[in-house]
Structure 1
Amino acid sequence: MSDVGTGILGFVGLSALAGVLVTAAVTPALAVTGMAANNGIAVFENLPGYLDINELSEKTDIYAIQADGSPYHLASFFDENREEVEWDAISQYVKDAAIAGEDPRFYEHGGIDIQGTVRAALNEYVIGGATQGGSSITQQYVKNVLINNGVREAKTEEEKDAAYEAATETSPDRKLKEMRYAIALEKKFSKDEILKGYLNIAAFGGRVYGIESAAQYYFGGKHAADLTLPEAASLIAIVNNPEKFRLDYPDSETNGVNTIVDGQPVPYAANKERRDYILEQMLKEKKIPQADYDAAVATPVAPVIKEPSTGCETAGGSGFFCDYVKNIVLNSYDDPATEENEGARLLQQGGLQIYTTLDLDLQAQAEAAMTENVPATDPRFDVGSVAVTVQAGTGRVLAMAQNKKFTDDGEVAAADPSYTSLNLSTDLDYGGSSGLQPGSTFKVFTLAEWLNAGHSLRETFNGARRAFTSFPGQCGGGTWTGSFNPRNDDGRIANNAVDATKWSVNSSFMAMAQQLQLCKIKETAAAFGVHRADGAALGEGKNAEDETIPFGPSAVLGTEEIAPVTMAAAFAGIANNGTTCSPIAIDKIVQADGTELPPPASTCTQSVSPEVAHAMEYAMQQTFAGGGTATASDPGTGIPHIGKTGTTDDAFDTWMIGSSTKVATAVWVGNITGGDNRTNLRDVSFDSGAAATARHRIWPRIMEVADNKYGGDQFTEPDASAFKQVLVDVPQVTGLTLDAAKQALEAAGFVFEDGGPQDSNLPAGTVSATDPSGQAGRGSTIRVFTSNGSMTGVPNVVGMTQDQAEAALRQAGFRAERQTQDTLDPTQVGVVIAQNPAGGGFAKPGDKVTITVGKLSGGPGNAPGDD
């Protein structure tokens, strides 16, 4: 009996207070008397009256822009699937159904429906039945605002649960606050504004919130403005009890085929019952005519569920690009000083409209080329492939494709290896792996530093394969010492930077690096934005024992692990006159209130001088010329390209990276997993052809579309100084042993060649001559000749008589041969005036020495006085 008494007292108190509040709200000038009224007003005045309506949690949409300028939806992210709409974007059927079903006197009361409140209080506190709705639409709006405010301000899941409980608890205190807020709202906002807010905030089951998202989800993508009468009533039915009346559980006990009428199952019986009640109320309130009511009631409840985009899985082949965009938002707007990731809040609740840089034409071609040339899985090894395209001069990422399907579901990826969440195109912090070895594509940075240091494209060096034992200028100081003897892919020798680039000769680039500073090569690569994908700087990677691996000779050949998008941006920088723009994937972000949020911007840096870039471009264009390593990638569009191929040891990774003046593309095909599970791509084939050349079947397909769409200019010709030949002194090695001469020449940067023995007066086996001698281009081949010791000195017989000269020559072991020469000097008649070889020269014993004897000019005689 005491419980009943308490309930009655609660009912009376609440009812009286409700009456006071309503009276105060509607006719505040009315004199209110009586103890209950005075007490009620006192309580009322002590309650908070101002309700701050925070922004609603809305879904974020990510778009690509189509060729006609219209947006193409890639994906959505949300905690609550909501899209706010304006008053005119909501069907009148929805508005009338909400009022008729939830609050028929909405446009008459001042925020509280006294009849509904008293009825609900009687049921709650006296009868003790199930809780009944007595709240006006304004009160329901208040409750939903309190839920939204509490949940959005919460930092943890526990705080969110607590906020929800506080806003929905069944208690007089909560109800009184709700009433107070409702009255205050009615004084501040118009009825239409409150109804619009209510329809935008209301829950419609699961994670569906707001009438627009409900219409799209339950009725096949319809907008709220286009809902039919029965559809509108079905959706408003859900608001009364979102889990009981939702329409996406056709087999559930509450909403499924669970009612039999005339032997036939009634689909969505619970929703239909509530829907028909709302239609009846609309008829009663004269919102619809009898004919419309009859037709609507006869219409089956027939939802057409259109699953909303919930993450990048819905982006199809663009899923990896979408995930890259998602991670850009997460990383760019996160404030480490706060517990909550602001980027995550913006993405999940901020209602952003994100317009990306993705070019759908290029993306489609990249996906098609990838699908046709590299399988998603291979029983022989963990096959992977990516293609990334970046716009030169802007850094805009135009395409990003992978030979897998994207998923964030670990169970899906574990069950089907054709799915993955690992984005091989990007850095680790942006959803990517720890990077891929770029192989010989990295050589372009040694080429850049070669030119930076004042060397020329045609300057020669010793490009022959050999063991390199020292490299100067390690980072941190000192010289690298050891033995490094990399293999070349074929037997060609390149003795200048152009041929070295064209044929990608390892020993040639090591010869160039040996004349540079290792740390300078690293710094030049970094100037192009190149960094390790795991976040470390070049030369700061760790091995399995967590020891730092310095930037050494092997790094020159591409052993650092780098993301393909980084390499594509670097090549775009080379093609852009040496100005590199960091990759970006977002063009514009529009916030829920229509204002723009500045997206992460590209930073453009002059990586090398334009003159150096033009010389690099010249050398890199030669890779497409006859015999160059990139000839198989020529798309044949007539647009000039620069390029560089790359193949790591044992062909575990294969690359093709190149660029026009407008667009750069990086293609990688290789092994995803490392260690002993890797396969040499030269040993296997795909259906499309050899695995090692798949890159050359993908790259030109993408660049053909890029060339046709974006065009491309001629690369600027390098300055003449880029082709200068630098001459250096050839060491003087005459008289040295052959081995000593070889060491001296190679130390000076020349190529040694044994020219064999030659006649010489020097001791047999010693160097007698070089060809060339004096000066030659560094790296030139110097032929070295050795003495056979066969030469002896020729006596000087000039000034002797003919007889004396011949006797002296015979005595020295030479044969004399005489010839005469006219002279007007009588003292030279009969005297040797010249000899060949000259006196002091060398000749082999038995060789002929020609002597020239003077003869008096004008007569046949050779003695004075002959006429």
Structure 2
Amino acid sequence: MLNKWWQYLLLIVVVAGLAVASLVGLAAVLIYPDLPSLESLTDYRPKVPLRVYSEDGFLLGEFGEERRAVVKIEDVPLHMKQAILAAEDERFYQHGGVDTLGVLRAALANLTAGGAKEGASTITMQVARNFFLSSEKTLKRKISEALLAIKIEHSLSKDRILELYINQIYLGQRAYGFAAASQVYFGKPLDKLTPAEFAMLAGLPKAPSRYNPFANLKRAEARQKYVLNRMHELKFLTDKEYQASLKQELKFKASRQSRDLAADYVAEMVRQEMYSRYQDAIYSSGMKVVTTILKKNQLAANDAVLQGILAYERRHAYRGPEGQVHLDKLDGSDGAMDDALDNLEVYGGLVPAIVLNTSPKAVKVYRQGGHMEEITGDGLQMVTKALGDKATDKQKIKRGSIVRIYQANDGKWSIVQMPQVEAAFVGADPQTGAIRALVGGFDFNKNKFNHVTQAWRQPGSSFKPFIYSAALEKGITPATVINDAPIVIGSAETGSSAWSPQNFDGKFEGPMRMRTALTKSKNMVSIRILQNIGVSYAQDYIQRFGFAAKDHPPYLTMALGAGSVTPWQMVGAYSIFANGGYRVQPYLISKIMDANGRVIEQAKPAKAGGAAERVVDPRNTFIMTSILADVARIGTAAKARELGRYDLAGKTGTTNNMVDAWFAGYNPAQVAVAWIGFDQPRTLGGQETGGHAALPMWISYMGKVLQGVPDEPYAVPPGVVQAKINPVTGLRVDEDHGGLYEYFFQEFLPPMENSGESNILDGEEPAPVPQPPAEHSGGTPPFVQDQLF
């Protein structure tokens, strides 16, 4: 009886098949002539996004509607092809575009299952649909799809059809093609994947949203196991390979962003520049831009800025939780808590979490994905008061509070807070101007304002070296004595109201040498120097360093950095000190290539010592570097000594009321500028100076990028002489007298002590000082070893 039913069923299928064949034949006569041209297949030009890379080949970002990486069929790993065939079309190389056996098998399967459980679309039919047809489920569309598949098979080889499929198919996360999906999901190219990973990707075309491992890992794993099983059944995998693949734990890309290296401000700068040149074409033309960024440097800058901001926040009061969740109203499931955290983004590695319970010594929190963390010890440093009984309602952390947690490199979590302060960092090669690292703020996704290029801020004392450099050209020497005493400036000289400037510490130390004054960042001395050389001369002179005169009005306040600069300008200006007086232009784009890898634009930077214009006398930059080395050794940036190097130089900068904090410094191979402040200018708080808030970022960066790099002393240029001076008067003394050595322009040597002439800028005799300044006590670094007696 059962056999009889199968005979009837087979007869029905055959009759139905003949009927369908007749209908298809009729439809072919009516539809085939109207099928589209295959030009888009024979001349395949996919929409490939603009990609931005570091100099050492790491992807920084891509811009376009589709994430796509085109790969040739001969470069596709065998297991990738086999996984696709096993999942989608095992008879691909046998059928002619429409798999009649597959259609019959699917029909029987669906008939016995009582519904549409299996499809019969071949890879060729999917290519037809993806390139030419809509996804509507109508009989006409299905017939057109089949006819187009046959037409494609008559025009293209099987390998070419498979290549089109591999590059065009949508695989979720805006990824088109398997090469792009490999980077999106696993963060590595196709040729680095395992059979288990190939199977995961091959399972996506059936339903990219349903089988996306980022959206539903369990469902994706079930689909992957099905594909592996089919690969095993088809003898694409040996028993050993199959079992190993089933056991392999997949490791997905930690970040779902389309990049290998976090440099979002850099990528956006490149996008803007490319758009200005090529407009909308950049989003689909497959152009590639190689920047001057180096991964090691960028990672160091990223960490320096993040740690600098977190350190600042720890020094200031905890403002309180970001919100409150009523846990008693939730069903207690991980999913419910995940939903409560859904609208809170992770910024700068600061993860939102819900507090489950608290005590003065421990806080248990929940973070998305079913993760529980218990935070103790130093991890509670910022919120100690918020856990106490005396905490205000706004500040108090309790059950249900939404807080931010951060995992340090040692794996330990701490409770932090979303920062309000911003920071910027830029590092460059002073010999060429190539930007090696750039961080425009705390997190690009939170604040797209680029503080390196767009933030015009007062530089404070970090601007003083340019005034001192101008003074050297006017004959003032490092040994010239200038009075650190109170001064009152009239409104005519300030451009506004009368001004009584102060030193940072509010103290006045009387007459001192220019070297000592810059090392200690004495404001009164800087003002007297500017008075002496003239503000108009100084305003003209600073243009050599790339500053515009209009941004630094010709008033005495210029001596204290009251004008406006950007970190981008400052890194270019300090490069001139670092490279011996050459103006190099900071630049970010090294080369631009088309989709085929042909270079269409190549940077040709003017290098120091080569085509770059010399704008400052090498004697000047050498002497300035010798003074700025003292700043980094025994002055306001003495903390830099922890790096254990003697080729570092730089200057701190703190503006009035500690609104902006800076450090700009260098050695012959690296120049870097750090800044921290608020977008809406306000005080950073007590003692938040350049040396306290900005310098640690610079130290962190330089310590990493100069690791293993030997000290590189600056050579004394021709025309610089040394002479022994009296440390009190700055006058020369005989070699057999006590004193210290100082550097001078040959033509600006100070008088001998017994000549009766003065070495004092304002003509006043200084009070005698019984001993040399404190900065010349202790060890003697190589850079200044021949300065001391």
Interval of TM-score (by shorter of Structure 1 and Structure 2):
0.5 to 0.7
- 2:53·2:290 contact (CA, 8 Å) conserved in 1? yes
Pick closer, same or farther for the CA change 1:721–1:173 going to 2, 3 Å.
farther
Counterpart selection for 1:485 from 500, 509, 521 = 500
Asked if residue 649 in structure 1 is aligned to residue 652 in structure 2, the reply is: no
Q: Name the SS for the 2:662 alignment partner.
A: strand
Shift of 1:680: 2.2
Shift of 1:357: 2.5
Deviations 1:283-311 (A, max 9, x none): 5xx6659x859x96998698736136444
Counterpart selection for 2:130 from 144, 165, 183 = 144
Pick closer, same or farther for the CA change 1:105–1:15 going to 2, 3 Å.
farther
Pick closer, same or farther for the CA change 1:114–1:612 going to 2, 3 Å.
same
Counterpart selection for 2:161 from 194, 200, 207 = 194
Pick closer, same or farther for the CA change 1:89–1:48 going to 2, 3 Å.
closer
Counterpart selection for 1:335 from 271, 276, 285 = 276
Counterpart selection for 2:73 from 62, 75, 87 = 87
Pick closer, same or farther for the CA change 1:679–1:117 going to 2, 3 Å.
same
2:487 counterpart residue number:
466
- 1:388·1:568 contact (CA, 8 Å) conserved in 2? yes
Quick one: distance in 2 between partners of 1:177 and 1:551? 77
CA RMSD for the aligned pairs? 5.4
Counterpart selection for 2:556 from 553, 556, 573 = 553
Shift of 1:710: 5.8
2:685 counterpart residue number:
679
- 1:137·1:195 contact (CA, 8 Å) conserved in 2? yes
Pick closer, same or farther for the CA change 1:501–1:216 going to 2, 3 Å.
closer
Pick closer, same or farther for the CA change 1:672–1:608 going to 2, 3 Å.
same
1:768 counterpart residue number:
none
Q: Which amino acid aligns with 1:643?
A: G
Q: Name the SS for the 2:427 alignment partner.
A: strand
Q: Which amino acid aligns with 2:530?
A: A
1:236 counterpart residue number:
202
Q: Name the SS for the 1:485 alignment partner.
A: coil
- 1:357·1:398 contact (CA, 8 Å) conserved in 2? yes
Number of positions where the alignment pairs a residue of Structure 1 with one of Structure 2: 608
Quick one: distance in 2 between partners of 1:205 and 1:372? 35
Counterpart selection for 1:406 from 423, 440, 443 = 443
Shift of 1:378: 2.6
- 1:640·1:715 contact (CA, 8 Å) conserved in 2? no
Counterpart selection for 2:267 from 313, 323, 326 = 326
Quick one: distance in 2 between partners of 1:663 and 1:98? 49
Shift of 1:192: 1.4
Deviations 1:656-697 (A, max 9, x none): 3222222223344x5436556641216xxxxxxx99645565
- 1:589·1:598 contact (CA, 8 Å) conserved in 2? yes
Of the two, which has the highest radius of gyration? 1
Shift of 1:92: 3.3
2:745 counterpart residue number:
none
Q: Name the SS for the 1:658 alignment partner.
A: strand
Asked if residue 639 in structure 1 is aligned to residue 646 in structure 2, the reply is: yes
- 1:503·1:623 contact (CA, 8 Å) conserved in 2? yes
Shift of 1:592: 5.2
- Greater shift after overlay, 218-227 or 561-570? 218-227
Q: Which amino acid aligns with 1:556?
A: A
2:294 counterpart residue number:
357
Counterpart selection for 1:665 from 640, 658, 672 = 672
Shift of 1:201: 2.2
Q: Name the SS for the 1:240 alignment partner.
A: coil
Counterpart selection for 2:596 from 593, 611, 614 = 593
Pick closer, same or farther for the CA change 1:58–1:137 going to 2, 3 Å.
farther
Deviations 1:59-81 (A, max 9, x none): 8474574xxxxx66777777545
Shift of 1:140: 2.2
Quick one: distance in 2 between partners of 1:90 and 1:612? 59
Shift of 1:86: 3.9
Counterpart selection for 1:613 from 614, 621, 645 = 621
Pick closer, same or farther for the CA change 1:590–1:625 going to 2, 3 Å.
same
Q: Which amino acid aligns with 1:663?
A: Q
Shift of 1:468: 2.8
Counterpart selection for 1:443 from 461, 464, 467 = 464
Correspondence 1:256-275 to 2 at 5 A:
268=222
- 2:480·2:759 contact (CA, 8 Å) conserved in 1? no
Shift of 1:207: 2.9
Shift of 1:442: 0.7
TM-score normalised according to structure 1 size: 0.56
- 1:334·1:343 contact (CA, 8 Å) conserved in 2? yes
2:782 counterpart residue number:
none
Unmatched 5+ stretches in structure 1 = 1-6, 20-35, 66-70, 124-128, 147-165, 257-266, 411-419, 429-433, 473-478, 531-536, 541-548, 683-689, 726-771, 784-867
Shift of 1:427: 1.8
Shift of 1:327: 2.0
Asked if residue 205 in structure 1 is aligned to residue 172 in structure 2, the reply is: yes
1:505 counterpart residue number:
522
Shift of 1:333: 0.4
- 2:674·2:694 contact (CA, 8 Å) conserved in 1? yes
Asked if residue 389 in structure 1 is aligned to residue 404 in structure 2, the reply is: no
- 1:62·1:76 contact (CA, 8 Å) conserved in 2? no
Quick one: distance in 2 between partners of 1:14 and 1:356? 62
Quick one: distance in 2 between partners of 1:697 and 1:227? 43
Deviations 1:355-375 (A, max 9, x none): 723435855984798489655
Shift of 1:191: 1.8
TM-score normalised according to structure 2 size: 0.61
Deviations 1:494-537 (A, max 9, x none): 5775454334332333233334554553454343234xxxxxx6
Quick one: distance in 2 between partners of 1:225 and 1:654? 46
- Greater shift after overlay, 391-400 or 132-141? 132-141
1:304 counterpart residue number:
250
Pick closer, same or farther for the CA change 1:370–1:13 going to 2, 3 Å.
same
Shift of 1:610: 3.3
Pick closer, same or farther for the CA change 1:235–1:169 going to 2, 3 Å.
same
Deviations 1:259-306 (A, max 9, x none): xxxxxxxx73x7766876x56xx95xx6659x859x969986987361
Correspondence 1:397-796 to 2 at 5 A:
397-399=435-437, 406=443, 408=445, 410=446, 424=451, 426-428=452-454, 434-452=455-473, 464-469=485-490, 480=495, 483-489=498-504, 490-493=507-510, 497-516=514-533, 518=535, 520-530=537-547, 539=550, 550=553, 552-585=555-588, 587=590, 593-596=596-599, 598=601, 605-623=613-631, 628-634=635-641, 637=644, 639-668=646-675, 671-672=677-678, 674=680, 678-681=684-687, 693=692, 699-700=698-699, 702-703=701-702, 706=706, 708-709=708-709, 711-717=711-717, 719=719, 779-781=762-764
Percent identity of paired positions between Structure 1 and Structure 2: 22
Quick one: distance in 2 between partners of 1:584 and 1:87? 38
Quick one: distance in 2 between partners of 1:358 and 1:225? 21
Shift of 1:393: 0.8
Deviations 1:39-96 (A, max 9, x none): 767546x85656441134368474574xxxxx66777777545444443553434434
- 2:24·2:143 contact (CA, 8 Å) conserved in 1? no
Q: Which amino acid aligns with 1:780?
A: G
- 1:93·1:232 contact (CA, 8 Å) conserved in 2? yes
Quick one: distance in 1 between partners of 2:430 and 2:512? 31
Unmatched 5+ stretches in structure 2 = 1-15, 110-114, 320-419, 607-611, 726-754, 767-789
Deviations 1:378-404 (A, max 9, x none): 3179556655433221223445579x8
Pick closer, same or farther for the CA change 1:662–1:196 going to 2, 3 Å.
same
Q: Relative contact order, CA 8 A, sep 6+: which one is greater?
A: 2
Quick one: distance in 2 between partners of 1:573 and 1:10? 85
- Greater shift after overlay, 456-465 or 324-333? 456-465
Shift of 1:650: 3.1
Pick closer, same or farther for the CA change 1:514–1:641 going to 2, 3 Å.
same
Quick one: distance in 2 between partners of 1:220 and 1:708? 30
Deviations 1:527-570 (A, max 9, x none): 3234xxxxxx6645xxxxxxxx9564323311234333432332
Shift of 1:574: 1.5
- 1:448·1:612 contact (CA, 8 Å) conserved in 2? yes
Quick one: distance in 2 between partners of 1:234 and 1:448? 63
Quick one: distance in 2 between partners of 1:78 and 1:508? 55
Quick one: distance in 2 between partners of 1:592 and 1:327? 20
Deviations 1:598-630 (A, max 9, x none): 47665655443434434433544454576x444
Q: Which amino acid aligns with 2:523?
A: N
